[in-house]
Structure 1
Amino acid sequence: MGKKRFTEDSWRKEPWFQSLCSAFVACSTEKEVADFLRDIATLSELQAWSERLEVAKQLSHGRTYREIAAQTGASTTTVTRVAKYLENGEGGLRKILHAHRHHRMVSGTIAGKDVAKERTESVLKKYLK
């Protein structure tokens, strides 16, 4: 059997991808997410993902592609790619940026419920449908 490849038509329904999403939902703290990510990703992958998120933040603040590339060290190709994700993607990155900007990604407990975990679970469930 060859290497499993996701396709644009089926990636969301792939059991491996669904398991990955479930693993994120199972994490209840930032440390657990960080530990999980470090166990499944190389430092290069983590750096690339972190860089893309920083590029997205700067794009959302209206900085130019060249400014972002100079400040982050990302290539203009990466900046352009992230801009396309923000414009035409699934909307997940925009939601994260919106949550970060307006809620400062603060998790808390209300009436014994972990608000951040419930929010993450509901977003992922909608996302997987």
Structure 2
Amino acid sequence: MGEYKSRLENKDMDFLIECIQSLKTKEEYYRFFEDVCTVYEIKAIQQRLQVARMLMERRTYLDIASTTGASTATISRVNRSLNYGNQGYKVVFDRVNWKNR
């Protein structure tokens, strides 16, 4: 992979990343995300990960929508990211056992 420059890159985002990287235990992650994010924001990220996993399993949009409650717009956005994005989903899915979740 070549040099990647994110549209999000700035010193405040760097600080956020450093803060997340400083967390060591699952409990610390729970505490941090409960303080920083709303339940809705966390649920949206959880849903996108579930949608991505189901798309990688070649499930249909209809099946994904009925299982996750995601809109077809969300499914489409995740699909676009999987196919034409920055490989963010691929990086994390390669590091976790996503097929058995």
What range describes the TM-score normalised by the shorter chain of this pair? Answer: 0.7 to 0.9
Correspondence list, 1:38-117, <5 A: 38-101=34-97
Note the residue ranges of structure 1 that are not aligned, 5 or more in a row. 1-7, 105-129
Structure-1-length-normalised TM-score: 0.67
> In the alignment, which residue of structure 1 is the partner of 2:8?
11
Structure-2-length-normalised TM-score: 0.84
Cα displacement string for residues 63-112 of structure 1 (whole angstroms, at most 9, x for unaligned residues): 1111101110000110010111111222121111122237x7xxxxxxxx
Structure with larger Rg: 1
d(CA) in 1 for partners of 2:35, 2:89? 23
The runs of at least 4 consecutive aligned structure 1 residues that moved more than 6 Å come to: none
Which has the higher relative contact order, 1 or 2, with Cα contacts under 8 A spaced 6 or more apart?
Answer: 1
Identity %: 31
One-letter amino acid of the structure 1 residue matched with residue 61 of structure 2: Y
Note the residue ranges of structure 2 that are not aligned, 5 or more in a row. none
